Amino acid sequence: MTDTTCQICERGIKASTGTIALHGYTRPWKQGWQSGSCFGAKFRPYEVACDALPPAIERVRAFIERQKAHLTDFTNNPPEKLIKYDRYHKAEELVRPEGYVYNPRHGGFSYTERYQLQHPNVIYEIKKSIEQAERDLPRLEKRLADWKPV
């Protein structure tokens, strides 16, 4: 097959063996490892099947629920330690200060308040991952509902 489309990401990907080739991975920092492939890799193309969509939809729904629970817990029960990575991927351990309470309006920058700055950053990242998954879910559901074999 030459004109084939991934069920998940909708990209045109070769499927010369009958299944979509590995794709969607990155090689961060060129350290000899790579991130995972698109969930649609190794499934049949969208033109032939839609069998990757139901498990992908369920995974996205489960991810959203897990992230929402994690957000609630992380916000209400800040961990004792946070790990922050600098731009050179060096880890720094930040210890929660005595009496710390999450304040979403905490502003300014202070070298002595590193934990107070990092905790809200992690909360922001969790919220963004939820928003992104919630944007993807309707697209996947529509793709499944609209599927017709070619």
Res. 117 pLDDT band, cuts 50 70 90: confident
Q: What is the pLDDT of residue 50?
A: 97
| Amino acid in the structure at residue 32 | G
By the 10 Å C-beta count (0-12 exposed, 13-18 middle, 19+ buried), 100 is classed as: middle
**Strand 81-85 with 91-95, pairing:** antiparallel
Longest dimension (CA), the chain: 63
pLDDT in tens, 53-109: 999 999 999 999 999 999 999 999 999 999 988 888 899 999 999 999 888 776 555
pLDDT of residue 12: 94
pTM of the predicted model, to two decimals? 0.84
